[in-house]
Amino acid sequence: MDLHKQTEPRRAAAPASAPARVAELRASDADRDRIADILRDALAEGRLTAEEHAERVEGVLKAKTVGELEVFIQDLPAAHQGRPGPAYASVPPRPQAGPVQAEDTVVAVFSAAGRRGRWRAGQRVHAYSVFGSVEIDLSEAIFEYQQVVIKAVSVFGDVQIRVPENVTLRGTGGGVLGNFEVETADSADPDAPVVYVDGWAVLGNVEARPKRGKLVADILDRVQRKVDRKLRKHL
């Protein structure tokens, strides 16, 4: 009995589920740009009318998964010429020590303090909580710098940090009888902001994570402007 030959069919069948797993992945801005480029070419070749192109581009901007994006090009030749997987941008190096152009400090001692809503995030944000609570919410903030460093220290207190889900999030720190937790995230957009959270939790809590459903408006505006330019070019 040849065991090697018997196991070969099972090995060949395993990759069949891979396309289904890829289709369920969250779509990135790079994925949307790829589909928008294919639609642009289809419009230029006369495969789509201007109305069809505009309708599909609108759907691309609203799509949430890779599978939803592929629906808009499944009847086009480019969809069957190889489908690259989701793209991920490399994380820029951490800012080097030097002069800081903009700083913000939030302190809570036996109290509560925070930054939330539409505010301008500087290059560095200091968050100190001593028997208090600090909230740094960047989900609607204006990022004037691509790299933002948040120094968070909690002593018998709590520091909560929230960022948009389409930025890159990194963290370095620890806890002394406390909790220091950063839910790392990667953005597919190389121009997306990068938020670094550094600090310590001493008998306290420091927590940073993406805020689901919240996106950096500036990134979406760039994608929309790019699509608008392509539409005007071919209409």
Predicted confidence band at 85 (pLDDT cuts at 50, 70, 90)? very low
pLDDT at position 132 over 80: yes
Split at pLDDT 50, 70, 90, the class of 39 is: confident
Pairwise CA distance, residues 231 & 189, whole Å? 22
Place of tokens 């939330």: 116
DSSP state of 128: E
- pLDDT above 70 covers a percentage of the chain that reads 72
pLDDT of residue 81: 61
Half-sphere exposure of residue 212: CA atoms within 13 angstroms, side-chain side: 3
pLDDT number for residue 149: 93
Angle at 217 between CA 118 and CA 89, to 5 degrees: 125
Chain centroid to CA 18: how far?
23
Residue 186's pLDDT is 85
Whether 170 contacts 218, CB under 8 Å = no
Residue predicted with more confidence, 208 or 81: 208
Beta strands in 93-146 (DSSP E): 103-109, 112-115, 120-121, 124-130, 133-137, 142-143
